[in-house]
Amino acid sequence: MTKARFVSGTFAIMVGCLVNYAGDRLLGVRLELVPINDPLAIFNVKWAVLVFIIPIFVGLATASVFGLGGKWLCYFPPVIVRTIAYMESEYLTNLPDGMTLMPFGWWIFFVILAVECAAIGGVFGEIMIKRIYGRTTPEEAEKLYVKPDEKPKESSLSE
């Protein structure tokens, strides 16, 4: 790995974290908090957007900034932002009245959902960069493939 690739990857992760954090603040939802009296009240439209839609944009931003291979980096920003938010609620801030911290097992499940949605965004980001996803066309593959009993085709550079 080159230094430029490392710096580009670090920057892409930071951009993804910024998009995730901005989405959290714009929606005003704290994933890690649960109402004491009605735990199912957390499941609303804003919560669903926070868990499913925002991470897609996070993955898209991360993969777009990094380039090819960005679909592998897009897993990190949701984990980083969600972990910081959980630790902030646990150790640094007072919980709002009537709220409690989500059990750690639930929280892990919801973080995994967000990470998988970010992976979808990462794949979309790579599709936007490559303009195609998947294998080459049969015609392109035929040009690239050299059969074992044939000599490689002469290129125009050897003339």
Give the range among 19-28, 74-83, 143-152 with minimum mean pLDDT. 143-152
- Structural contact between residues 141 and 135, judged by C-beta atoms closer than 8 angstroms: yes
156 vs 25, more confident: 25
Going by C-alpha positions, the residue among 76, 104, 71, 96 that lies closest to residue 20 is: 76
Dist. CA 18–CA 25, nearest whole Å: 11
- Structural contact between residues 65 and 12, judged by C-beta atoms closer than 8 angstroms: yes
Dist. CA 70–CA 148, nearest whole Å: 35
Going by C-alpha positions, the residue among 88, 92, 116 that lies closest to residue 32 is: 88
| Domains of the chain: total | 1
- Average pLDDT of 112-130? 90
135 vs 20, more confident: 20
pLDDT the model gives residue 40? 83
pLDDT tens-digit readout, 125-157: 888 877 655 555 666 655 655 555 666 555 555
- Average pLDDT of 32-54? 89
- The band of 86, judged by pLDDT with boundaries at 50, 70 and 90, is very high
Q: Which domain holds residue 122?
A: 3-158
Going by C-alpha positions, the residue among 49, 157, 51, 59 that lies closest to residue 102 is: 51
